[in-house]
Amino acid sequence: MDWFFNLDRDLFLQINHFRNDFFDYFFVGISLLGEYGIIWIILGLIAFIFDKKNGKYFLLAIILGLLLSLFINNIFIKPFFFRQRPFVELADVYRQGLLWTNSSFPSGHAMSSFASIIIIFNFYKKYFKWALIFAILLLYSRVYLGMHYPTDVFAGAILGAICGLIVITFYDKIKKA
């Protein structure tokens, strides 16, 4: 299993050491938009204001998806699988942005983003590809900025998608009732 962790570390270092001044600012901005799911809440509020038919349900689903992913991640997963962040564990790591010190595994940014894009796909399919592009850039930014290993963001994306599917499943059951 060492080969897997070595591969994860090596891929992290490749991404993290590929420096560029433009990307430094760009990925800090992307990452900040992902803090606390703020970009997804903003999109929910925009839908609430402009989509009189589905906006309030979309906003509620986004909030529930964010809360579910936050709860599962911070209460159950992060304490159980505590993993040091790369900037703590490795030497010569470029780090920038907000420096979280809780567990690196899994990425909360990834969980909230993928929970949200699953919900976006359910409500607004025509905007899904833009949300997915942003979410992928956000995940990349977390590695680029030294906050997560690639497996942290990959696991967070999978778990977040599951959270989004749970919210949509309950939404569909309530809608049919």
Domains of the chain: 43-176 (1.20.144.10)
Q: Provide the residue type at 37 as one letter.
A: G
pLDDT in tens, 86-132: 988 888 898 887 677 788 899 999 999 999 999 999 999 999 999 99
DSSP 54: T
Model pLDDT, residue 101: 77
Q: What pLDDT score was predicted for residue 104? A: 85
pLDDT score for 177 = 63
If one counts every other C-beta atom within 10 angstroms of the C-beta of residue 97, the result is 19
Classify residue 145 by its DSSP letter: T
C-alpha dihedral sign at 80, 135, 137, 2 = positive
* pLDDT beneath 70, residues of the chain: 1, 98, 177
CA distance 118 to 21: 32
Q: Specify the pLDDT at position 3.
A: 79
Q: Which of 11, 40, 44 is nearest to 144 (CA)?
A: 11
